Amino acid sequence: MATMIDIFKLSISKLLLLTTCLFLLNVNVFSQDELIKQGESIFKANCASCHYVTNKRMTGPGLAGAVQRWEENASIEKLYEWIRNSQAVIRSGDVPYANKLYEEYNKSVMTAFALSDDDISAVLLYIENPPVEVGKDPGDDEMVETKALSWSDPSVIFMVVVSIILAAIGFLLSRLIGNLRRMSYQAKGLPVPERVPIVRRLTDKRFLAAASILLVIFLAVSAFDVTTNMGRQQNYQPTQPIAFSHKLHAGINGVDCQYCHSGARKGKSAVIPSANVCMNCHKAIEEGPEYGKTEIAKIYEAVDWDPETQTYGDNPKPIEWVRIHNLPDHVYFNHAQHVNVGGVECQTCHGPIEEMEKVYQHETLGMGWCIDCHRETEVQFAANDYYQIYEQLHKDLKEEGKKVTVEDIGGTECQKCHY
């Protein structure tokens, strides 16, 4: 009997050890996911205006494989120094690879960043593990990124497998404990309790009470998830009346976003450009590289322009563009405040717009997303006259070097965004 019980104890120990290992592995996977998410946030706030995480070049080089290329030419410590202050590394002359990059990209000076080692590590981890492109709209050449998890996602598969294993372990432990209890009764010469059928166990009041509590929690979480996502339209990608390519205009041709969306630096709305803005270029450009004359002809029809006689008619028609980024009526957002005062890049909220053949909503635009940005984004406070009224914060900044975020200047107060 003692030997048999020892064997069962050993089995339980092994099962517990397996459970612990699976739990730790699960924690490690999610810790890395959190670091990648942190790195993505820092990258979008500081790096996305000049770099892609792919091989594509922009103001700076594409960052796919950048860590490996750097390690082949210099130490990883020098990479950290380069990210913090590229000009200091160039002046030192210690890293010929850095000077080569500087020359290759027309001596464009990379902004110095006051990032910690942990911040840089998170960014590099994100660069090595960029978002997986999982969706494609029929007829589009470009993949659309999405953060929504699917059943094919490795982390979801892992969680399902772990859950099944843990459920099996729980079932085995339950049976093991029952058998040990029965053997204990037999060893003591006591009547062995009758095995309770599974149906009676499921109808037991204690089980029903626990199951009811779990069901209520599940329904509450589901209801919260549904209501908080109500009205959200992340990845919304409608078909427009004219196939306008941001990839061609903002990406390949380098047209500044605010040339067309001039309201972004002037007022609340970024505005949809009028067809007259299109005609500034398309009086001369009558044919595109992908659609030929078809889509440009729609612009001519809207403004009643005759390309043969180079004259306007008297019957212009509005282009019925489909709005993509929508906020609830009770939410106030001012583009000029963010663009002029905050110096926020378009890509911070709209994603890699210069890569989109067909525009879609990149972020959730939910309140939590906005508040996270306000809590994390450091304001260029000292050199911005707009914030001169915050005398105490200026004093703290001078005396203690305190970091000032949007939250510190009222960016999380309800009335700032809600009427």
Answer whether residue 172 is part of any domain: no
Rounded distance between C-alpha atoms, residue 107 and residue 314, angstroms: 51
What percent helix, strand, coil does the chain show, rounded to 5? 55, 5, 40
Rounded distance between C-alpha atoms, residue 288 and residue 364, angstroms: 33
Answer whether residue 173 is part of any domain: no
Q: Is the pLDDT of residue 194 over 90?
A: no
Q: Which is more confidently placed, 390 or 363?
A: 363
Q: Which residue do the tokens 């590590």 mark? A: 121
21-71 pLDDT, tens digit per residue, is 555 555 444 467 778 888 888 887 778 767 888 887 766 788 888 888 888
Answer whether residue 51 is part of any domain: yes
Q: Is the pLDDT of residue 324 over 60?
A: yes
What three-state secondary structure class fits 37? helix
Answer whether residue 231 is part of any domain: no
Answer yes or no: pTM beyond 0.75: no
Answer whether residue 106 is part of any domain: yes
Answer whether residue 72 is part of any domain: yes
- What is the overall mean pLDDT for the chain? 80
Answer whether residue 121 is part of any domain: yes
Reading the block at residue 30, the tokens are 């999610």
96-118 pLDDT, tens digit per residue, is 888 888 888 777 778 777 788 88
Domain assignment of residue 51, given as a range: 47-130
DSSP state of 271: -
Instruction: Point out the least confidently predicted range of 80-84, 325-329, 393-397.
Output: 393-397
DSSP element (H, E) containing 144:
strand 144-145
End-to-end alpha-carbon separation of the chain, Å? 75
Q: Which CATH number is 83's domain given?
A: 1.10.760.10
Rounded distance between C-alpha atoms, residue 45 and residue 305, angstroms: 42
Instruction: Point out the least confidently predicted range of 78-87, 176-185, 335-344, 362-371.
Output: 176-185
**Looking at the 3D structure of the chain, how many domains does it have?**
1
pLDDT score of 151 = 54
Answer whether residue 101 is part of any domain: yes
pLDDT score of 65 = 85
Instruction: Point out the least confidently predicted range of 142-146, 188-192, 408-412.
Output: 142-146
Instruction: Point out the least confidently predicted range of 175-189, 229-243, 355-369.
Output: 175-189
Contact (Cβ atoms closer than 8 angstroms) between residue 257 and residue 264: yes
235-281 pLDDT, tens digit per residue, is 999 999 999 999 999 999 899 999 999 999 889 999 999 999 999 99
